[in-house]
């Protein structure tokens, strides 16, 4: 954990216990969004997800190769961005394929044949060698999966190469 993450976490812990003046000062230094209680209030865009994790998008998005089509490059970037969104929304919860007792919620999409995929539902399954549900791009709760399936549907459609 970096020094900045440590300081930010300490500020988040102090925030609820302080008066209005201190809260205002903390908001001025760290940004008001830092102290919103629910992750779904803090992460509304891909940029918010990178910010939540204290990451710089340019460090994760590869340089476009001459051999890549624009559509393929957009799909690769969308995959990376969605991995960051999943990590941010899960707030540090480590989902493990090896843990069969851990629920992992996935987005269930329905293709409408015209405009691409739309959010349809969520589901969970226990991860074992017989399931198609691993820990990658899975969510810790149904609420988070539903939120991501609606809030980030354009990004999901880029991944589906639509």
Contacts of 23 (CB under 8 A, 6+ apart): 15, 35
pLDDT of residue 81: 97
- Other C-beta atoms lying within 10 Å of the C-beta of residue 79: 13
Q: Residue ranges of the chain with pLDDT lower than 70?
A: 1, 110-135, 162
CA–CA dist 50, 53 (Å, integer): 5
Measured between alpha carbons, how far is residue 6 from residues 2, 10, 11, 86, 95 in Å? Answer: 6, 6, 9, 21, 23
Angle at 95 between CA 89 and CA 100, to 5 degrees: 145
pLDDT recorded at residue 112: 64
Is the pTM value of this prediction over 0.85?
Answer: no
pLDDT of residue 128: 43
Looking at residue 127, its pLDDT comes to: 47
pLDDT of residue 57: 96
The 3-state DSSP class for residue 122 equals strand
- According to the model, what pLDDT value does residue 148 have? 95
Q: Which helix (DSSP H) or strand (DSSP E) does residue 51 occupy?
A: helix 46-52
Sole residue written with tokens 């302080």: 18
Give 135's contacts (C-beta < 8 A, 6+ positions apart): 95, 96, 97, 104, 127
pLDDT of residue 145: 93
Q: Radius of gyration of the chain from Cα atoms? A: 18
């Amino acid at each position: 954990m970096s020094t900045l993450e440590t300081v930010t976490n300490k500020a988040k812990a102090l925030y609820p216990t302080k008066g209005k003046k201190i809260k205002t000062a903390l908001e001025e230094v760290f940004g008001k969004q830092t102290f919103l209680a629910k992750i779904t209030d803090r992460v509304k865009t891909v940029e918010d997800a990178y910010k939540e994790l204290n990451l710089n998008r340019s460090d994760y998005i590869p340089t476009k190769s001459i051999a890549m089509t624009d559509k393929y490059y957009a799909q690769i970037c969308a995959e990376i961005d969605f991995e960051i969104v999943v990590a941010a929304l899960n707030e540090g919860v480590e989902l493990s394929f090896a843990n069969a007792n851990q629920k992992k919620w996935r987005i269930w999409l329905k293709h409408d044949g015209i405009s691409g995929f739309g959010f349809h539902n969520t589901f969970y399954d226990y991860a074992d060698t017989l399931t198609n549900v691993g820990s990658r791009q899975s969510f810790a709760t149904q609420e988070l999966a539903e939120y991501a399936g609606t809030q980030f549907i354009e990004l999901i459609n880029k991944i589906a190469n639509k």
